[in-house]
Chain A
Amino acid sequence: GAVVSQHPSRVICKSGTSVKIECRSLDFQATTMFWYRQFPKQSLMLMATSNEGSKATYEQGVEKDKFLINHASLTLSTLTVTSAHPEDSSFYICSALGPSGYEQYFGPGTRLTVT
């Protein structure tokens, strides 16, 4: 089946620094990838839709200058949290739209802790 990886799985950074999270589709090409965040005991919330070769589409309330998304190839999308603050600490999950065009395959998630 389709596999999506994320790196790193866990990262701790200091307030004010930036951190990059990678999302890769390992055995298929994904023109569309999605980034979600999940706060403790809450459901996932879509942050943005990442389209290969074009600008990402951000959901309302998500700061595009703070959460930079780059989908430079058909197998890689990156999310950079710039000038991170403790309130950015969360679980970030990416997904990739599979060959069928309607099923999403999820990465294992990245736990970000900002101190």
Chain B
Amino acid sequence: KQEVTQIPAALSVPEGENLVLNCSFTDSAIYNLQWFRQDPGKGLTSLLLIQSSQREQTSGRLNASLDKSSGRSTLYIAASQPGDSATYLCAGTGANNLFFGTGTRLTVIP
């Protein structure tokens, strides 16, 4: 069974800093890797989806990479803003379901 781990569990940075969130998974036979954002008490917002054949995806200030051979994905956030404060979840796609990591709680300090 796929296990997904996220490090660190919590991160605080001053506004404007660039930061990297890490995600590792045990089974390299994933189909896709997806990054989500979750605000307190809210549902999930999909940020980036990297298909199995891709190595990275970019959207605005976000860049996600995928290295299946090492079982790792990273989410890079450039020029962080207080509005980026949220919990970030990565999820590996198995056969039509998702295996979620435990998340990284990000706080961007103004």
Q: A43-B89, A43-B101 are in contact. Are A106 and B96 (CB under 8 A)?
A: no
Please tell me if B110 contacts chain A, counting CB pairs below 8 Å: no
**Of B42, B46, B93, B100, the contact of A44 (CB 8 Å cutoff):** B100
Cα of A13 to Cα of B5 in the assembled complex, Å: 35
Contact B100–A106 (Cβ < 8 Å): no
Q: A108-B42, A111-B41 are in contact. Are A102 and B89 (CB under 8 A)?
A: no
Contact A103–B44 (Cβ < 8 Å): no
Residue of A nearest to B4 (CB): A43
Contact B32–A102 (Cβ < 8 Å): yes
Task: Give 1 or 0 for each of A1-42: 1 = CB within 8 Å of chain B CB.
Answer: 000001000000000000000000000000010100000001
Q: A34-B97, A46-B98, A102-B31 are in contact. Are A109 and B51 (CB under 8 A)?
A: no
Please tell me if B102 contacts chain A, counting CB pairs below 8 Å: yes
Interface residues of B (CB under 8 A from A): 31-32, 34, 36, 41-46, 49, 51, 89, 93, 96-103
Interface residues of A (CB under 8 A from B): 6, 32, 34, 42-46, 49, 91, 93, 95, 97, 102-109, 111
